[in-house]
Each structure stands twice: as C-alpha cells, then as structure tokens.
A and B are shown apart, each in its own frame.
Chain A
Amino acid sequence: MSLNVSDLSIARGGLPVLEGISFELTRGQALILRGPNGIGKTTLLRTIAGLQPPLGGTVSCGEDQIAYAAHSDGLKSALTVAENLTFWASVFGAQSIEPALEAYNLAPLRDRPAGALSAGQKRRLGLSRMMVTGRPIWVMDEPTVSLDQASVTLFANSVRGHLDAGGSALIATHIDLGLEATVLDVGPYKAAPLEFDDFDGGFL
C-alpha cells in the first residue's frame, strides 16, 4: 500500500505555511522530513494523518493505513506500561503486545505505572504503540526527542524491521537515524502569501 501526496498545500491558524508538496511513499521505503522549526512539518504530518483538512491538493492512501505518532505520547499515568499498550492493541485489534515490549526493551518495566517512567522511557512506550497498530504506514513527528543513543538504535531497528516487513515510514526528525531513506527538505515549499483578490481572499 503506498502513500501518494500530490500538490499539497497546508495551513496553520488560517495562514498557508507550505504549498506544492508532492511525493510518493511505497512499500519498504522511508522518507525523512527536514526543515527548520516552525516551517510546518507537524502541520504537514497532521494533514497527512487526516487530522486536519488540506488547503489544496490531495493525500491518497487506503482507508485506515496510517498510524500516527505525535509529540505527546497519549499515555495514562495511572495505568501500567502493559495496560497502556494493551489498550491501544485492543483499539487496533492487535493480538499481542509482547513483540512491541521486546523491541523497545520495555519488558522489565511492564508493571510500572506510566506516570513513574522517565521521559525517555515514556517516549519508548509511545513509540512501541506503533508496533501494535498493525498499520503499514507510520507517520511520526520527532520520534527521537528525549531518547538516548541506545534507544535511538532500538527505534531505528524497529523502523528497519517494519520496512523489511513491507511497511513504510514518514518521519520528521533532525538527527541521523542510520536508515537508508530519502530525505525531503520542506524548506523550499514555503508558501507565498495569498493574493488578496480572490473570492474570500480578504480573510486569508
């Protein structure tokens, strides 16, 4: 299943930020998004994940293909690591959480409440969620924030495993993950200010 983005333009807070973005992501492929802070990477990922409507252009992929990981991990601090993961596994209809715990070295922490985890451990738990979604396209926003070197390796391995299994990944990150991936710098796609003369243009 491939993700096809053509001539996409997106807006944040009513202002266009990026325009004319096109790319294709096929099975086994990874795409790294780069660009300075505030350029609109998060907005782009949210648009691709279907959380907000694009200003123009299309995002096409099959129904329910994308798993999205945001800045925040969506963990309930009163539940244990295993309970948190089991919840998402049941939402997505996955069978077992063991491979995910294993891949991120979370098995020793499984009965610890998520509230008692360190920032990096929380992040690992958040990322392991991707593995229980069973979705082929991973869309991740700054996944390596607060991860140490060893954890970054764990993450890179998990993405590699996902790619080898025929999945694909779209990752916004600033560090080098050591993956064979295409890099897309979104800087040149910065949107030009809109013309004032179009239909409802006085507002945009």
Chain B
Amino acid sequence: MSIWEYANPRKFLQTSERVMPVLWVSSGLLMAVGLIWGFFFTPDDYRQGSTVKIIFLHVPAALMAINAWFMMLVASLIWVIRRHHVSALAAKAAAPVGIVMTLIALATGAIWGQPMWGTWWAWDPRLTSFLVLFLFYLGYISLWEAIEDPDTAADLTSILCLVGTVFAVLSRYAVNFWNQGLHQGASLSLDEKENVADAFSNPLYVCMVGFGLFFVAMVFYRTGTEIRARRIKALMARERQEA
C-alpha cells in the first residue's frame, strides 16, 4: 500500500470523500473554538489593547498563505517527476485558497497596522513580501486560466511554480535589504525567549491547526471538483471524436 495509490483519481475521490466530513467538522470546530477563545477569553494587551486579537486571524492566514505555495511547489514537483494528474490538479486547486489566505493576511495586517503604526500600509519587508507573493499567485492562476490544453497548462504552471519559488525567495532577501521594517519578528518561534504571552499562544495554536485543517479540506474538495471537471471535459471530447 503506497501513497502513490492516491494518484489514481478514483481512489483519491473515494478516500477524500470519506475523510472530508471529518476535516470539515474538526476544522470548523477548532476555528470556532480558537477564535471565540481568542476574541473573548484572553486579556487585552497592556500596550495594544483589544486590537491585538486580530492576531488570531492574521497569523494563521499568513502561515497558510506561505504553506499553500509550498504545497503547490511539492505538488508541481510530483507532477513534473511522476506525472500524476491528481497532483497537478491539487496544485491548481490550492492556488485560489492560497491567494485568499494571502489577501486575508494583508487585509487583517492593514486593519491591525492602522491603530498600531498609524498607517494602513507601509513598505515594510514582511508586508511587501506578501504583496509580491500575492502577485506570484495572481500570475500562476492566470496562466492556468489562459491555457486550454490541461496537460500543457499543468507542465507550464509547474515550471512557473518552481522558477517563481526561487524568485520569491530572492525577492524576500531583496526586500529585506531594501527596507528594514516596522513589523515585529515572527509571533511564534521555538528558539526565542520572548514569545507572545502564553495567554495568547494557546488559542493561537488552536486557530493555526484549525486553519491548516480547513486548508486541507478546501484543497481536497477543490481537487475533487477539478477531477470531475476534467473527466467531463474528457468525456465530451471523446463524444465529439466518435461523432
């Protein structure tokens, strides 16, 4: 029993349909618990007041925005090397979810930044990097939309994803060099002493897991849709060929 069995569309659909209800419910529960806990049962920050609570949306969304791209990169590599169609479609399915997460991170960041830094937007390295990431998502999705032949589209977007990753990392360094910013360091990290206070970190972890599961569920769901759309297209093409 190898993981590649799930590269068979039918097998993938069967399994994902069984797993998805669990994912939906658990991600919904975790997100609800995390957000309610975070919004109503944590103390106000002594400096930031209650505005700090937007962190429970901002950080998980930002985390998923990056991980979605990373997942697309892995899926693209699998397509390029092993040519499993499900993998290419999963990458395609993840992109819109990723771009929405990026948008959420940017929007909540702006809303948070207004009271804290006195501005909606600053050309801070982190903010700028996310904006660039947004542009990469935009290009990737447009390329998928523009090409008719699905295999060609999968090939081209995969290569764009690989090349884009290199340039996204380069941009990150370039932007860092270009402007040292306002943004605080990572909110959570394992090796740092000065973390977000425990009162905040626990609901934040819950939110992050919830967002993660939500992302997985969304990708499963959308991949399933893509598989079915592709099958319909294939059936129609065959019908035309036989006629």
Contacts of A199 in B (CB 8 A): 7-8
Residues from chain A with Cβ under 8 Å of B7 in the complex: 199-200
Contact with B along A1-30 (1 / 0, CB 8 A): 000000000000111000000000000000
Whether the pair A15, B241 counts as a contact (CB closer than 8 A) is yes
Any A CB within 8 A of the CB of B194: no
Q: Out of A14, A15, A193, A202, which one reaches B231, CB within 8 Å?
A: A202
Restricting to A171-204, which residues have a CB under 8 Å from any CB of B? 193, 199-200, 202-204
**CA separation between A199 and B238, bound complex, in Å?**
18
Q: Is A193 a contact partner of B242 (Cβ separation < 8 A)?
A: yes
Chain B binding surface SS class: helix
Q: Are A14 and B238 in contact (CB under 8 A)?
A: no
| B150–A14 touching, CB < 8 Å | yes
A15-B238, A193-B241 known; A202 and B9 CB under 8 Å?
yes
B9 touches A14 (CB 8 A): no
A202 to B231, CA, bound (A): 6
Inter-chain contacts of B237 with A (CB < 8 A):
13-15
Q: Report the contact-size class of chain A (Cβ under 8 Å from the partner).
A: under 10
By a CB distance below 8 angstroms, the chain B residues around A15 are: 237-238, 241
With contacts A15-B237, A15-B241, A193-B242 known, is A203 near B149, CB below 8 A? no
Contact A193 B149 (CB under 8 A): no
CB within 8 Å for A203 and B242 given contacts A13-B149, A14-B149, A14-B150: no
Distance between A31 CB and nearest chain B CB, rounded to angstroms: 27
Interface residues of B in 187-243 (CB under 8 A from A): 227, 230-231, 234, 237-238, 241-242
A120 to chain B, nearest CB (A): 34
Is there a chain A Cβ closer than 8 Å to B172's Cβ?
no
Of B8, B149, B234, B242, the residue contacting A204 (CB under 8 A) is B234
CB-defined contacts of A202 to chain B, threshold 8 Å: 9-10, 227, 230-231, 234
A203–B86 Cα gap in the complex (Å)? 10
Residues of B within 8 A of A200 (CB): 7-9, 84-85
Answer whether residue B151 sits at the interface, using C-beta atoms and an 8 A cutoff.
yes
A14: chain B residues within 8 A (beta carbon): 149-151, 234, 237
| Centre residue among A193, A203, A204 by max chain B CB count within 10 A | A203
Separation of A26 and B10 alpha carbons in the complex (Å)? 46
**CA separation between A14 and B238, bound complex, in Å?**
10
Bound Cα distance from A13 to B233, whole angstroms: 12
CB distance from A11 to the nearest CB of B (A): 9
B104-127: CB near A (< 8 Å → 1, else 0) gives 000000000000000000000000
A residues less than 8 Å from B84 (CB atoms): 200
Could you list 26 examples of A-B contacts with CB < 8 Å?
A13-B237, A14-B149, A14-B150, A14-B151, A14-B237, A15-B237, A15-B238, A15-B241, A193-B238, A199-B7, A199-B8, A200-B7, A200-B8, A200-B9, A200-B84, A200-B85, A202-B9, A202-B10, A202-B227, A202-B231, A202-B234, A203-B9, A203-B85, A203-B150, A203-B230, A204-B234
Which 5 pairs from chain A and chain B are nearest by CB?
Answer: A202-B9, A203-B85, A202-B231, A200-B85, A193-B238
Interface residues of A (CB under 8 A from B): 13-15, 193, 199-200, 202-204
